[in-house]
Chains A and B, each alone.
Chain A
């Protein structure tokens, strides 16, 4: 469960995030939708405790990102925008490293890796050095790394970037499965179709503010448009008009 209250962040003179509030409940996929530069990544980075909020707060299962960042990190898996791997390590070693950083015992980590290898279908390249992995293989490894400590909450920043259709379908199936298991999933995207297919709830962000929030159907209804894309344009346009 992620609760965001009035989060703000400024870089120099640029107000990247100005008072974002929303909630992402457990057992649900929540999408942050917005154009590039809207403040999606900055918001997610604050939730991942990579950036400190200027004001406002976010609670991850009740732990504050400002005051208890380490507790927050324990409860969260993060697939960041640039989820680089260590090229000299095999996929297994990459995942195991993060298991150890999360304080898992060796045996527990190894069992978990087998479990994730089956779930994510990465057994065939598990013991290969990640140097030269395809985009899809990299994503699977990075996902396994983010999930190795069984986090209740999962944050994904533009996870489908650069993936082919099959990989996107697999990811979608995986996220649905994690949702069934009761995880809280929050992901950002600027691709309408993806959000429409995947998300239970959509938070539309533009210019560092929440422009609208609700289910895809309710957003369409609110904007009086037939497609999410049209609704999106209209919602953002309206938000801009209000400024």
Chain B
């Protein structure tokens, strides 16, 4: 045990002096993580503003043909900008991003309106633009539709028909999401960032302690120390795992701080990542450090050089992290099998905690024990790999 600690302490402190390792463990995740998170959330906040809250400006051609419609739109915070353009000019202006959305009212609008014939208008938009044109067009369209409905109901009443008979089925959508649960979709990225930062934080130490040690030629001397070889590698894994934990703790803390500056309440999200939540997030994902350190060390044990290890380990890191990006999109359920899967179970538990729920105790136990069990097995395998003579290269 004492020898394991000696190896651990040496690896821990030696690598604190290595700029590359320090950068990956203590700077990369903790700085980049919150920046990515805050940026993503800020984008969704401002998108929400553009489509639902902010007054928007609408370019209208032929506004004089429908003055009442214009009044209605302005009453809904849609500012009208009267323009004289041909259809061709509108298309070009949109293509060149001079304007996002345009409404064209044909000159026969009033005439058809007075005859109670459907009066057509055109909304011009580039649905492939990424600056909210689509959402603005949808907002204008919704406003006109509801206006149209009101007017047609009035017309029916004037003709003595009860407008209620026009509605055979009425759909009421009941949104049961809480503000926190709406935030969760955007925050799905948090679990990915945390787990990635954790694994990345230990990656260079895992490489340095295995392939690096061999490449420098210090491995042979180390293996002549009077201790079982497995103990040497356990000490190294412990150092890797501790860097992973530090990296994760810093990333979570930094994300918690960054979230204070994102105006989530404007999106109707009341998400709190307070100290207690942050500690809970750390606690549920901590067992993954043993798994990650074991996995990276086992993979690195097969490589011959620092460079080789680097490319293999980058790949190894993406295995437990990459699927997390798609979990949200694919609507994977937190089944017992998922709860027994390292990284996936941590993702679900973190999401539950962020939603303000208390995870089921069996889920917690399943996640922690299976992850720790697989992690310990990987450490044992790493120990066995170091007993081989091939490890000398």
Contacts and interface: CB of A to CB of B under 8 A. Distances in A.
Nearest to A100: B6
Nearest to A142: B221
Given A50-B392, A100-B6, A101-B3, A82 B220 contact: yes
Interface in B212-226: 213, 216-226
Interface in A57-93: 70-71, 73-74, 76, 78, 80-89, 93
A80 B225 contact: no
A96 B217 CA distance: 18
Interface of B: 2-3, 6-7, 10, 14-15, 17-18, 213, 216-228, 389, 392
A83 B225 CA distance: 13
Contacts of B227: 70, 101
A177 interface: no
A78 B18 contact: no
Nearest to B215: A84
B233 to A, nearest CB: 14
B220 A81 contact: yes
Contact of A97 (B10, B17, B219): B10
B14 A88 contact: yes
Contact of A51 (B18, B213, B389): B389
B222 to A, nearest CB: 8
B30 to A, nearest CB: 22
Contact of A73 (B6, B18, B216, B226): B226
A45 B10 CA distance: 25
A70 B226 contact: yes
B16 to A, nearest CB: 9
Closest 6 pairs (CB-CB, A-B): A82-B217, A84-B217, A84-B218, A84-B216, A101-B225, A80-B220
A233 B224 CA distance: 34
Nearest to B387: A52
Contacts of B18: 88
B226 A86 contact: no
A52 B387 CA distance: 10
Contacts, number: 80
B224 A78 contact: yes
B224 A50 contact: yes
Contacts of A48: 220, 224
16 contacts: A48-B220, A50-B224, A52-B389, A71-B226, A76-B224, A82-B217, A83-B217, A83-B218, A84-B219, A85-B218, A89-B10, A93-B14, A98-B221, A100-B10, A101-B6, A129-B17
Nearest to B218: A84
Contact of B2 (A45, A76, A82, A103): A103
A127 B216 CA distance: 20
A3 interface: no
Interface in A24-74: 45, 48-52, 70-71, 73-74
A169 interface: no
Contacts of A71: 226
Given A76-B224, A82-B220, A101-B7, 15 more contacts: A50-B220, A51-B389, A70-B226, A70-B228, A71-B226, A80-B217, A80-B224, A83-B221, A87-B216, A89-B10, A93-B14, A101-B225, A101-B227, A102-B226, A142-B221
A46 B158 CA distance: 106
A98 B7 CA distance: 10
Contacts of B7: 101
A145 interface: yes
B215 to A, nearest CB: 8
Given A82-B217, A87-B216, A102 B389 contact: no
B392 to A, nearest CB: 6
Nearest to A11: B389
A51 B390 CA distance: 9
From A86, A87, A102, name the one whose CB has the most chain B CB atoms within 10 angstroms. A86
A220 B219 CA distance: 39
A74 B221 contact: no
Nearest to B7: A101
Contacts of A45: 220, 392
Contact of B14 (A74, A78, A86, A142): A86
Given A83-B217, A101-B6, A73 B15 contact: no
Contacts of A101: 3, 6-7, 222, 225-227
Contacts of B220: 45, 48, 50, 78, 80-83
A81 B10 CA distance: 23
Contacts of A83: 217-218, 220-221
A102 B225 contact: yes
B14 A89 contact: yes
Nearest to B216: A84
A145 B221 CA distance: 9
